[in-house]
């Protein structure tokens, strides 16, 4: 027994010693440097139909950048399923890319880690100044009052896409502008044997986007001004209930949509099974699904009454991709040059046209390419009636907790269980308790 104990103690000591050295690791060394001025690593998010498509889109642009500056960019397109985990591990270890794309709703959470280069006035001046960007896009780059953690790259907004044939068959002459009209039109479409509206009940982020806008319309916020969660206000409960009721009570969303999480609702829409879908910047997707541009129409997403605007007339969240520079970069100047290149008018026009998104850069936005059928509504929404998701460090937990609550409620609705104000409130209450204590 003595031998065992001795061996155990030896092993434990060794482990602890190793652990201590490892624990001390991380990346205490703060800022970046310019040690390797000729190379950059860039993690792009998957914006196109597949990773290979993205590589084909971006590669020529990166070559162009290399020709201009002599800096070689190593590109990796990271799938969405891995992106946040990769960024987290990079943050933890200090080993990451120089420049990366992030979902703009992650800005505040990632900002809290301190791993991203803050875009103060000096940094902004390197890429032509903060004024070049649209305000709504800048609203989703970090906690208000702090220097942004990232720079807007692609912007998107929600809109109502409808199938022209389905509308004609149901005798609908103009797209609905309010939720009541949407429900009424949805029922007309259901009567023709198609589904009224598509939803992604198991997609947590999409659930959040939808109930966030509805909460705005009910005058509610999911976070108080000092960043505490407040999920159970009457407005928030009403918002979540209204969204789930589209399936539970109004029956304009097919119950099978409760399990959708991989954009099956878009595929249904492209195949003509569904008449309407509320989505962000879907034109490129429809095309890749084989739907002709002339087959669908687009209108502003609905409000409770009146016309889209600010406050309770909000009808979209500010969706989009931001570009962030990793603080530990070994090529600080090169990274800034690269961000400048990617946010230049020319690249903005080209890339946003390819991906069907809207440039967050004012001067690029005025290009006629973004005034087409597909993009005019989106641009208008972004300019006047889109709001950024809560810019709080706990945004990620919020998406998980409330997104799951909505998912569970959809599952209840699909199983035929009643969705009541009480059941919605109970779910949101539970979600709120799971948020980190303050």
For the segment 292-351, give every residue that binds another protein (CB under 8 A). none
Using only C-alpha atoms, the chain has a radius of gyration, in whole angstroms, of 24
Q: Which run of H or of E encompasses 156? A: strand 151-156
Token pair listed for 50: 């597949």
Pairing of strands 296-300, 158-163: antiparallel
Min separation Cβ 115 and another protein, Å: 5
- Interface mask toward another protein for 149-188; x: CB under 8 A: ----------------------------------------
- Interface positions, 38-57, toward another protein (CB under 8 A): 46-52
Q: Can residue 82 be called a binding residue for another protein (CB under 8 A)?
A: yes
Q: How far is CA 166 from the centre of its chain?
A: 29
Select the span of 65-73, 171-179, 245-253, 407-415 touching another protein (CB under 8 A). 407-415
The string of DSSP codes covering 167-234 is: HHHHT--S---BHHHHHHHHHHHHHTTSEEEE--TT-HHHHHHHHHHHHHHTT--SB-TTS-B---SH
Min separation Cβ 346 and another protein, Å: 25
Select the span of 2-10, 241-249, 343-351, 383-391 touching another protein (CB under 8 A). 2-10
Q: Can residue 380 be called a binding residue for another protein (CB under 8 A)?
A: no
Q: Are 279 and 143 in contact (CB under 8 A)?
A: no
Select the span of 13-21, 178-186, 335-343, 358-366 touching another protein (CB under 8 A). 13-21
Q: Are 170 and 275 in contact (CB under 8 A)?
A: yes
- Interface positions, 242-301, toward another protein (CB under 8 A): 255-256, 258-259, 261-264, 266-267, 271, 284-285, 288-289
Q: Can residue 397 be called a binding residue for another protein (CB under 8 A)?
A: yes
- Interface positions, 93-112, toward another protein (CB under 8 A): 93-95, 109-110, 112
> What are the residues facing 73 on neighbouring strands?
40
Separation in Å, CA 43 to CA 40, 96, 195, 276, 288? 10, 9, 39, 34, 24
Min separation Cβ 180 and another protein, Å: 28
Q: Can residue 377 be called a binding residue for another protein (CB under 8 A)?
A: no
Min separation Cβ 103 and another protein, Å: 12
Min separation Cβ 306 and another protein, Å: 33
């Amino acid at each position: 027994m003595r031998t065992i104990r001795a061996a155990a103690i030896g092993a434990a000591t060794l482990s602890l010693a190793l652990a201590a050295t490892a624990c001390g690791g991380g990346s205490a060394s703060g800022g970046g440097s310019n040690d390797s001025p000729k190379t950059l690593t860039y993690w792009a998010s998957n914006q196109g139909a597949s990773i290979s498509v993205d590589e084909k889109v971006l590669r020529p642009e990166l070559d162009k950048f290399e020709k201009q500056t002599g800096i070689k960019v190593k590109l990796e397109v990271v799938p969405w399923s891995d992106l946040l985990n990769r960024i987290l591990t990079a943050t933890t270890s200090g080993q990451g890319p120089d420049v990366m794309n992030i979902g703009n709703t992650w800005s505040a959470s990632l900002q809290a880690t301190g791993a991203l280069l803050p875009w103060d006035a000096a940094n902004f001046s390197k890429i032509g100044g903060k004024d070049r960007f649209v305000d709504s896009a800048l609203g989703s780059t970090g906690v208000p009052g702090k220097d942004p953690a990232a720079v807007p790259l692609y912007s998107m907004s929600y809109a109502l896409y409808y199938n022209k044939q389905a509308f004609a068959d149901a005798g609908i002459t103009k797209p609905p502008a309010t939720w009541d009209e949407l429900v009424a039109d949805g029922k007309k479409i259901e009567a023709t044997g198609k589904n009224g509206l598509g939803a992604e009940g198991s997609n947590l982020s999409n659930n959040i986007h939808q109930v966030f806008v509805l909460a705005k319309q009910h005058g509610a916020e999911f976070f108080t001004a000092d960043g505490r969660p407040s999920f159970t206000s009457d407005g928030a409960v009403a918002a979540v209930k209204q969204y789930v009721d589209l399936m539970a009570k109004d029956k304009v969303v097919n119950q099978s949509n409760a399990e959708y999480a991989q954009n099956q609702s878009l595929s249904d829409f492209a195949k003509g099974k569904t008449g309407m879908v509320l989505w962000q910047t879907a034109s490129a997707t429809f095309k890749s699904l084989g739907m002709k541009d002339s087959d669908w129409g687009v209108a502003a997403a609905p409000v409770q009454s009146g016309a889209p605007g600010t406050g309770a007339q909000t009808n979209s969240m500010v969706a989009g991709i931001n570009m962030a520079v990793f603080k530990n970069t070994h090529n600080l100047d090169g990274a800034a040059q690269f961000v400048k290149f990617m946010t230049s008018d020319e690249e903005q026009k080209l890339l946003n046209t390819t991906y069907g998104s809207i440039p967050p850069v004012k001067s690029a936005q005025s290009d006629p390419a973004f005034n087409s059928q597909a993009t005019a509504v989106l641009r208008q929404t972004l300019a006047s009636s889109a709001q950024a998701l809560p810019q709080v460090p706990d945004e990620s937990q919020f998406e998980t907790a409330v997104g799951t609550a909505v998912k569970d409620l959809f599952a209840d609705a699909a199983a035929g269980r009643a969705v009541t104000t009480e059941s919605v409130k109970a779910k949101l209450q539970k979600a709120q308790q799971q948020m980190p204590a303050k």
